[in-house]
Amino acid sequence: MMRLQQACEALVRDSYYEASADPRPQHPQLRGSARADVCIVGGGLAGLSAALELAQRGMRVVLLEAQRVGWGASGRNGGQALAGYASEMEPFEHQLGADAARQAWQMSCEALELMRQRIAEHAIGCDWTPGALTVAVTPKKARALRAWYDGMRTRYAADHLQWLDLQATREAIASQRYCAGVLDPSGGHVHPLNYTLGLARAAAQAGATLHEHSEVVQVQPGGGGARARVRTAEGDVACDWVLLAGNVNLGGLAPTLSRRVMPVGTYIIATEALGRERADALIANRAAVCDNQFVLDYYRVSGDHRMLFGGRVSYSTVSPRDLAATMRAGMLRVFPQLHDVAVTHAWGGFVDITMNRAPDFGRIAPDVLYLQGFSGHGLALTGLAGRVAAEAIAGQAQRFDLFARLQHRAFPGGDALRTPALVLGMLWYRLRELF
């Protein structure tokens, strides 16, 4: 856990999002004892979404964040808001059946609508830009993308998706790298840290109490008439409910949960400002773009006309050497016309992947719920997660339980060997993709 925190601290320093963030309010450290209906552990999007929903229902909410609000993946990600799941729909179909899978798909679409509603309702300035484009690098990948597109339209009534052939793809993106694409007009992209800070402001205005620099050291479920208790080094919260929303940063608070997610590093660079005309020439409609490779590239143009280019992964928590140069080489494979453009920021963070890439929601005690496993697909989904967790706490658990019914396995190898095992496994997948 300490090694992961040190890696995160090194990566956050050079974040473009931190450099361009809105003024950040300070939330006091928890000191002494507090009481709440719900205590939330984790000040990212999932925890903040739940805090907002619960406070709007009139509940007393205390949220504890070990670092600062938005310090983790919520404030450092690629900024792409997408429908669906990193796993696609296969785990839902195979484990839960077609009807439940369709419900899960519709909830992912609801997550996008919820995000747009919150941005408008709470006047969150986060450069929301509509459009999400998935592209294929090879004919083989184009066939796979077409099969996915056809399946989503026939089984999930996703008629809003638009197929782009070779010509249309190259009209949308000024790159010779791609041969086909699918445009989702309902998706989009944002400045994720400003969105997170805006959600925190909304939760506080609704009545939630937020504490930063308040790392939780123990969670004690209730029982026998006693309330649950959440302890930090300087204080504690007695509560009726606990929601764990710390993902890979929970550490030893819930060992059974931490074994079911792995921290995977992903990295982004920001170029100098290109100017509106040059930026518009790269992506005609300014959609967020990702390819469908196993280790994918993802990129978009920022509100101030920079190219934000992400990709590369680390399954060992060790970041690439000379990160900016490594990521710049990937960007030039897509956009060689940016050879004269300087990179001003290079940063990254760790996403929490599950074995099957499906989200992992559930309970570790009757009064302790958790949300984790967004697997790099969480910018919009975290908002829905907070909503369904709030519903469950309020006594309407049907939607939360749809996710809780998904079965998840721990990563093999135990605490000592699971990271090396994952590195080897991912290497096999990458080699397979080359042939």
The structural domains of the chain, with segments of one domain joined by +, span 2-424
Determine the Cα–Cα distance for residues 161 and 156; give it in Å rounded to an integer.
11
pLDDT at residue 418 is higher than 60: no
pLDDT at 403: 98
Report helix, strand or coil for 281: helix
Are 283 and 173 within 8 A, CB to CB?
yes
What contacts 353, CB < 8 A, 6 or more positions away? Answer: 86, 261, 262, 264, 373, 375, 376
- The Cα–Cα gap between 81 and 379 comes to 6
Residue 379's pLDDT is 96
pLDDT at position 196, please?
98
DSSP 286: -
Give the per-residue pLDDT at 229: 98
Would you state the pLDDT for residue 295?
Answer: 82
Using CB atoms within 10 Å of the CB of residue 195, give its burial: 0 to 12 exposed, 13 to 18 middle, 19+ buried.
buried
Q: Is the pLDDT of residue 430 over 50?
A: no
Q: What is the pLDDT of residue 7?
A: 52
CA distance 4 to 283: 35
CATH of 2-424, one of 3.40.50.300, 3.20.20.70, 3.30.565.10, 3.50.50.60: 3.50.50.60
Whether residue 186 is predicted with pLDDT greater than 50 in this model: the reply is: yes
Distance from the Cα of residue 36 to its chain's centroid: 27
CB 229 within 8 A of CB 220: yes
What is this structure's pTM?
0.93
Residue 80 in contact with residue 379, Cβ under 8 Å?
yes
DSSP 8-state code for residue 160: T
Q: What does pLDDT average to over the chain? A: 91
Write the CA distances from 382 to 14, 20, 105, 232, 245, integer angstroms. Answer: 25, 23, 14, 25, 10
What residues are paired with 309 via a beta bridge? 269, 299
Has residue 313 got a pLDDT over 90? Answer: no
Q: Look-up: residue for tokens 């197929």?
A: 163
Q: Is the pLDDT of residue 91 over 80?
A: yes
**pLDDT recorded at residue 10:** 59
The residue among 187, 189, 196, 188 whose CA lies nearest residue 18 is 196
Comparing 99-103, 116-120, 220-224, 396-400, which segment has the lowest mean pLDDT? Answer: 220-224
- Identify whether the C-beta of residue 183 lies closer than 8 Å to the C-beta of residue 172: yes
Flag the least confident range among 199-203, 233-237, 294-298, 420-424. 420-424
Q: What pLDDT is attached to residue 298?
A: 97
Exposed/middle/buried for residue 413 (C-beta within 10 Å: 0-12, 13-18, 19+):
middle
* Token pair in block for residue 336: 């060689």
Tell me the C-alpha distance between 152 and 162, whole Å.
11
Q: What is residue 92's predicted lDDT score, i.e. its pLDDT?
A: 97
Q: Which two tokens stand for residue 182?
A: 């699918």
Mean pLDDT of 397-426: 72
**β-sheet bridge partners, residue 210:** 63
| Backbone dihedral region for residue 9 (phi beyond 0: left; psi -120 to 50: alpha; all else: beta) | alpha
What pLDDT score does 427 carry?
Answer: 44
* Residue range 206-256, pLDDT digits in tens: 999 999 999 999 999 998 889 999 999 999 999 999 999 998 788 788 888
- Which pLDDT belongs to residue 421? 46
61, 51 contact by CB (below 8 A): yes
Residue 168 in tokens: 């249309």
With pLDDT > 70 as the criterion, what percentage of the chain qualifies?
A: 91
Q: What is the mean pLDDT of residues 132-148?
A: 97
- Judged by average pLDDT, the poorest of 126-130, 227-231, 264-268, 428-432 is 428-432
Angle between helices 45-56 and 381-393 (to 10 degrees): 40
pLDDT at 1 over 70: no
Beta strands in 272-342 (DSSP E): 288-291, 298-301, 307-314
Cβ atoms within 10 A of the Cβ of 246, count?
29
